[in-house]
């Protein structure tokens, strides 16, 4: 059994499929291009974190039949796997079970829209699983951008996803299952144009070093919100 694994959950960056809540500030094409830049940063950073911590690194792709559009973004050595299941909850549960069945110990599953998630956060989450069954790193909208488990918990995500109560619902399920949960310090993800203010603040604070493609895309296309330091 390996020490553990980090899995990036990713969508194929097609217009109309990704970051639709950035519209109409972004066009559909810009939303897809922005997501592709952000995903490339996330994959590169995650591969580096995995190497630093001695973990495996996977990217789980949806839809699988369009994986050829993500393959060029994946760093060498990152395993490419499909997302399987009829909805997000099922796909998350399957990805964790598949990683565990492949020999991973602790499993971290991260989203692809939190580009400032750093090595310290990944290390904290992984270390927390020494004593916790479940670790979550909240977003500011009631969800979470990182979830870690010590063992697969198939029923953990048996609730509605992509709502403002996802964090609370997951914790409620964990409590009902008698699990020990740990909630880490919150961070932001990028879903709507206003979230770019958080990214600009992270840049000014020196916390966006792993976002070079993301920042360059916004700079090049003038897509920062008004009054935002790009």
Domain positions in the chain are 2-221
In the prediction, which pLDDT does 105 show?
82
Q: What is the pLDDT of residues 155-171, one digit of tens each?
A: 899 888 877 889 999 99
Hey, is 128 helix, strand or coil? helix
| pLDDT above 70: residue 227 | no
pLDDT at 29 (0 to 100): 97
pLDDT of residue 160: 80
For 79, the 3-state DSSP assignment is strand
Architecture of the 2-221 domain: Alpha-Beta Complex (3.90)
Query: Model-level pTM?
Result: 0.94
The predicted-structure confidence for 73-116, as pLDDT tens digits, reads as follows: 999 889 999 999 999 999 999 999 999 888 888 999 999 999 99
More confident residue, 188 or 162: 188
Give the integer Cα–Cα distance in Å for 31 and 75.
Answer: 22
Cα maximum dimension of the chain: 51
What's the whole-number mean pLDDT along residues 200-210? 95
Tell me: the pLDDT tens digits for 39-80? Answer: 999 999 999 999 999 999 999 999 999 888 888 899 988 999
CB–CB of 146/124 below 8 Å?
Answer: no
CA–CA gap between residue 203 and residue 200 (Å, rounded):
5
Judged on CB neighbours under 10 Å (0-12, 13-18, 19+), 154 is exposed
Distance from C-alpha of 36 to C-alpha of 186, rounded to nearest angstrom = 24
Q: Which two tokens stand for residue 42?
A: 């996330």
Given pLDDT bands bounded at 50, 70 and 90, which one contains residue 216? very high
110-160, pLDDT tens digit by residue? 999 999 999 999 999 999 999 999 999 999 888 999 999 999 988 899 888
């Amino acid at each position: 059994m390996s020490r553990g694994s980090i899995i990036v959950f990713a969508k194929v960056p097609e217009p109309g499929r990704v970051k639709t809540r950035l519209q109409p500030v972004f066009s559909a094409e810009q939303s897809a291009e922005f997501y592709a830049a952000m995903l490339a940063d996330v994959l590169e950073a995650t591969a580096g974190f995995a190497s630093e911590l001695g973990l495996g690194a996977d990217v789980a792709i949806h839809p699988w039949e369009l994986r050829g559009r993500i393959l060029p973004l994946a760093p060498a050595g990152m395993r490419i796997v499909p997302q399987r299941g009829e909805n997000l909850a099922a796909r998350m549960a399957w990805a964790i079970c598949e990683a565990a069945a492949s020999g991973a110990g602790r499993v971290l599953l991260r989203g692809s829209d939190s580009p400032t998630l750093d090595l310290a956060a990944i290390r904290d989450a992984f270390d927390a699983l020494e004593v916790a069954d479940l670790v979550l790193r909240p977003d500011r909208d009631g969800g979470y951008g990182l979830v870690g488990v010590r063992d697969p918990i198939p029923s953990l995500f048996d609730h509605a996803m992509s709502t403002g109560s996802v964090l609370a619902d997951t914790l409620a399920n964990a409590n009902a299952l008698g699990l020990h949960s740990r909630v880490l310090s919150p961070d932001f993800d990028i879903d709507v144009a206003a979230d770019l203010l958080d990214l600009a603040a992270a840049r000014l604070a020196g916390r966006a070093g792993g976002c070079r493609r993301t920042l360059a895309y916004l700079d090049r296309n003038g897509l920062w919100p008004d009054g935002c330091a790009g």
